[in-house]
Structure 1
């Protein structure tokens, strides 16, 4: 099926666009609580930072960064008892181009996959392939292998799940999303990933910023976004089962097998979310220049 996408591009493609992105998050804790934060940009986007990416913590506490087994940047802190606030604000350079499309990309035989890709064929905490394999083969087994099969999976998930911001559930698995037919962007990603893995297509979970750039703005509160990548023809390609169209201004923060590996914050103790705000907006060249000078 021929797909036509129309984008409103208010900028010169020869001049990369500038995106202002950041967040403000607060937690209430009853006692000193160790936390691991995965709120930094992915190292692959570090060169696109035009202003420093600094996590501001109030009250100030020591912080230490490390790379996890998937190459993501993690920050460790010990949150004191009471309220702790985390914030960041940065300017990121972006190509302004939509997600790459490669309709001819082939699916590789499992025997030909690189060793480091094999884990993305296996079931994981939220991608319970053992419960979805029979349906996946019945539904997608007759579709052409490669890009067309992944797109068929994305089309199905996009139609099957109803997006409802109020129906977020941190414990919902791909199979439960399949049964309940409702969820948020992470549920779309988990179900599509699970179906891909059932069909022997490596797939991994991604999280990051995705603003309403080049598309009509949505009424939902701005949030971090989840999408996935499928391994075809020797490289990873971006797919988004919630929006089901190439998007502009996607800024990667972390990748993993599923949401377990890329939790924005992990608390080793009770930490009640008290405030949450995310912003992702294109800014003009003049405004970006002023923010860069002020940084």
Structure 2
């Protein structure tokens, strides 16, 4: 199966502004790309690529004054399977964890696992450690938080989301991450594309999504407390400790976003040049992407 995925962000900058962006498919999926996800800008500007401390692909650029557009448009191969489940996966003893997972046990800016530890153990301490306990966390968070784009707030932490009971998918993920870390499960925050392939219509407008990966049974596993069901066509862009590590765009100055659209849809073929079919001309309504992560 082929999935066409990408994004377009339009700005109106009052003066030149340096930016760091994370919009490329994560390097672990790069081999599956059938049409490259080259970062494109209009007007064209130089882009310096580098990998951050987590291995995410980042781009540095300076946006010029005036209208500026950046984005990607790629085609990736996918086996069409939903997120796998491994209920037999066991939790590791702390002393048996690989060293590189330890950072994902620690509190972070938006995931105050230390402050939520007592509540985590009160809610989930009776559940058998392993896959079932993580799923219990996701079930609770999915039911506890009311979803709505109007609830987006860039400063909301896991503790705030728990107290307020509302948010967008980054808030679902932050709370579940914090609970899992408090329960001694290494957990990392992920952002990327989640398609609506196989989901009943009508489909909402495209958006970037947030979910988490937990380390059980010697490997990382996907859990999605917002949707709380396996999805087809999940493609990671970046992971880190929380949303502070993986902003899609970070501007060192004003952030005057005037248009935003995201797509992740199944396609049947590439054209003769190896490109995907042209997207429809009609743009999606402008939306603020700051903190949405639906």
Equivalences for residues 60-79 of structure 1 within 5 A: 60-79=44-63
The C-alpha deviation readout for 1:150-190, integer Å capped at 9, x for no partner, is 00000000000011012111111111111111111111111
Are the aligned partners of 2:19 and 2:60 in contact in 1 as well (CA < 8 Å)? yes
Q: Distance in 1 between matches of 2:227 and 2:234?
A: 12
Residue in 2 aligned with 1:132? 116
Are the aligned partners of 1:24 and 1:85 in contact in 2 as well (CA < 8 Å)? yes
Are the aligned partners of 1:91 and 1:292 in contact in 2 as well (CA < 8 Å)? no
Structure 2 length-normalised TM: 0.91
Residue in 2 aligned with 1:260? 244
Q: Could you say if the C-alpha distance between residues 28 and 177 of structure 1 is closer, same or farther in structure 2, counting changes exceeding 3 Å?
A: same
Q: For the aligned residues, what is the CA RMSD?
A: 1.2
1:292 to partner: Cα distance: 5.7
The C-alpha deviation readout for 1:169-228, integer Å capped at 9, x for no partner, is 111111111111111111111100000000000000011111111111465321001100
What is the number of residues matched between the two proteins?
Answer: 276
Match of 1:271 among 237, 255, 276: 255
Q: What's the secondary structure of 2:35's corresponding residue?
A: coil
Residue in 1 aligned with 2:93? 109
Match of 1:196 among 171, 180, 183: 180
The C-alpha deviation readout for 1:60-96, integer Å capped at 9, x for no partner, is 1111100000000000001112221012211110010
Q: What's the secondary structure of 1:293's corresponding residue?
A: coil
Residue in 1 aligned with 2:285? none
Q: Could you say if the C-alpha distance between residues 149 and 292 of structure 1 is closer, same or farther in structure 2, counting changes exceeding 3 Å?
A: farther
Unaligned runs of 5+ in 1: 1-16
Q: Could you list the runs of 4 or more consecutive aligned residues of structure 1 that deviate by over 6 angstroms after TM superposition? A: none
1:294 to partner: Cα distance: 3.8
- 2:274 is aligned with 1:293: yes
Unaligned runs of 5+ in 2: 277-294
Q: What's the secondary structure of 1:207's corresponding residue?
A: strand
Q: Distance in 2 between matches of 1:291 and 1:209?
A: 26
Q: Distance in 2 between matches of 1:162 and 1:247?
A: 20
1:279 to partner: Cα distance: 0.8
Q: What's the secondary structure of 1:260's corresponding residue?
A: helix
Structure 1 length-normalised TM: 0.91
Match of 2:132 among 148, 161, 171: 148
Match of 1:248 among 203, 227, 232: 232
Equivalences for residues 48-87 of structure 1 within 5 A: 48-87=32-71
Q: Could you say if the C-alpha distance between residues 267 and 218 of structure 1 is closer, same or farther in structure 2, counting changes exceeding 3 Å?
A: farther
The C-alpha deviation readout for 1:39-65, integer Å capped at 9, x for no partner, is 000001101111121111011111110
- 2:202 is aligned with 1:221: no
Q: What's the secondary structure of 2:210's corresponding residue?
A: strand
- 2:79 is aligned with 1:95: yes
Residue in 1 aligned with 2:193? 209
Q: Could you say if the C-alpha distance between residues 291 and 84 of structure 1 is closer, same or farther in structure 2, counting changes exceeding 3 Å?
A: farther
Are the aligned partners of 2:195 and 2:231 in contact in 1 as well (CA < 8 Å)? no
Residue in 1 aligned with 2:163? 179
The C-alpha deviation readout for 1:90-115, integer Å capped at 9, x for no partner, is 11100101111110110001111111
Q: Distance in 2 between matches of 1:291 and 1:185?
A: 38
